Amino acid sequence: MSLVSTRNRPPESGNAEPAHPRKRKIKYSWKESLLFLLFIGPNLGIILVFSYWPTLYNAFFSFVDWDMISPTMQWVGLKNYADLLHDAEFMTVLRNTVVFTFVTVAGTLVGGLGIGMLLSRRLKFSGLARTLTFAPHMIPGAVVGIMWLFMFDPNYGLSRWLFGLVGLDSPQWTSTSQWSLWAVIIAYSWQQVGFVAIIYYTAILDLPREIYEAASVDGASGWRLFRDVTLPLLRPVTFFLVCTGIISSAQAFDIIATLTSGGPGVSSSTLTWSVYEEAFHNFDIGSSAAQSMVLFVFLMVVTVLQMRYARRSAD
């Protein structure tokens, strides 16, 4: 009887053993967390000091009146933002920013897609063609601006020769308000279209061939194949290029600085250039900070939309 009862009796240590591994697991989790903090801590500190803190400090500047010389700042609240709403020049700058962003993004998408499709065909010297296509993107914006400044010269530049072929005089690209913004748009688009083309080129190479074969069996070809198969498959890549293109074009500065300096007047000035002008030419820190916050909110909205779209696509 004692033997049977001993075999049927549950082990005495059965209630104590499961707690031991749990403690070891919690202890190991704390070690992981500490190691994670040690690795991410320096990077997080740098981001906080050099990214988030300047943004918060700039937001504070947008509520004050200061010229960077006076030892004191005057709190004005929302006055800087109210002044922007009633400033005709700022409205022109805002319109220029929208036009510049829309035209450059749309132009580089269309041009980049066309070039990308040409590069995807296995032709002779295709490697050299890809290199030459991407090369302008590697050139600094200031150099691009100086290059196009010479090409836009109405007396000696390439523009004079091209318009002369059809018997016309070259426009005054950089010295008239009618053409200055378009000069910046052309130069910037030329620099960015190679990047878009290479992204489309790599995306086209990764498209599933079996879908094209099935569409060809169903009778699709030419424009219909491009419209109903290629464009829908490239939709995620196109959305990525739209978002990055908007963010990049909204921050364009060096080409404007070397090509037109935002002039004549504010005819080719965008928000990025206007922020610089207000701060370092007019010494109006409040107005400059308010304009930069407008740009910050705009870019933040674009980023949030991109993240939501990416999340829905993943789901």
- Kindly report, residue by residue over 155-186, the tens digit of the pLDDT: 888 999 999 999 888 999 998 999 999 999 99
3-class DSSP state of 238? helix
**Whether 131 and 11 share a structural domain:** no
Residue 232 neighbours by CB under 8 Å, 6+ apart: none
Which DSSP symbol is given to 74?
A: E
**Whether 128 and 219 share a structural domain:** yes
* Of the listed ranges 1-15, 63-77, 211-225, 267-281, the one predicted with least confidence: 1-15
- Specify if 70 maps to a domain: no
Closest by CA position to 119, among listed 34, 197, 52: 197
Q: What pLDDT does residue 5 have?
A: 47
- Binned at pLDDT 50, 70 and 90, residue 125 comes out as confident
- Specify if 131 maps to a domain: yes
| CB < 8 Å & 24+ apart, contacts of 66-73 | 66/285, 66/286, 67/283, 67/284, 67/285, 68/279, 68/283, 68/285, 69/283
**Whether 46 and 149 share a structural domain:** no
- Specify if 7 maps to a domain: yes
**Whether 169 and 304 share a structural domain:** yes
* Of the listed ranges 21-25, 30-34, 244-248, the one predicted with least confidence: 21-25
- Specify if 66 maps to a domain: no
* CATH number of residue 188's parent domain: 1.10.3720.10
The residue ranking higher by pLDDT, 17 or 132, is 132
Domain termination site, one of 34, 61, 88:
61
Confidence (pTM): 0.83
- Specify if 204 maps to a domain: yes
Cα angle 193, 196, 201 (rounded to 5 degrees) comes to 120
- Specify if 148 maps to a domain: yes
- The encoded tokens of residue 50 equal 């050099």
**Whether 36 and 127 share a structural domain:** no
Q: Do 187 and 145 contact (CB within 8 A), yes or no?
A: yes
Distance set, CA 4 to CA 12, 13, 14, 308 (Å): 16, 19, 19, 66
- Please state, in angstroms and rounded to a whole number, the distance separating the CA atoms of residues 246 and 243: 5
- Specify if 74 maps to a domain: no
Provide the domain limits for residue 43. 2-61
Number of domains the chain is built from: 2
- Checking if the pLDDT of 300 tops 60, the result is yes
Torsion (CA) 145, 240, 52, 76 in degrees, nearest 10:
70
- Specify if 275 maps to a domain: yes
- Please state, in angstroms and rounded to a whole number, the distance separating the CA atoms of residues 36 and 211: 44
**Whether 99 and 25 share a structural domain:** no
**Whether 224 and 171 share a structural domain:** yes
- b/e 245-277 (16+ beta carbons within 10 angstroms → b): bbbbbbebebbbbbbbbbbeebbbbbbbbbbbb
Between β-strands 74-75 and 64-65, what pairing exists: parallel, antiparallel or unpaired? Answer: antiparallel
**Whether 38 and 107 share a structural domain:** no
Domain termination site, one of 30, 61, 92:
61
**Whether 83 and 184 share a structural domain:** yes
| CB < 8 Å & 24+ apart, contacts of 68-77 | 68/279, 68/283, 68/285, 69/283, 76/286
3-class DSSP state of 281? coil
Mean pLDDT of 133-161: 92
**Whether 235 and 111 share a structural domain:** yes
Reported as a single tens digit per residue, the pLDDT across 61-112 is 999 999 888 888 999 999 999 999 999 999 999 999 999 999 999 999 999 9
For the beta carbon of residue 312, count every other beta carbon within 10 angstroms. Answer: 8
**Whether 131 and 168 share a structural domain:** yes
Q: What pLDDT does residue 4 have?
A: 46
**Whether 88 and 6 share a structural domain:** no
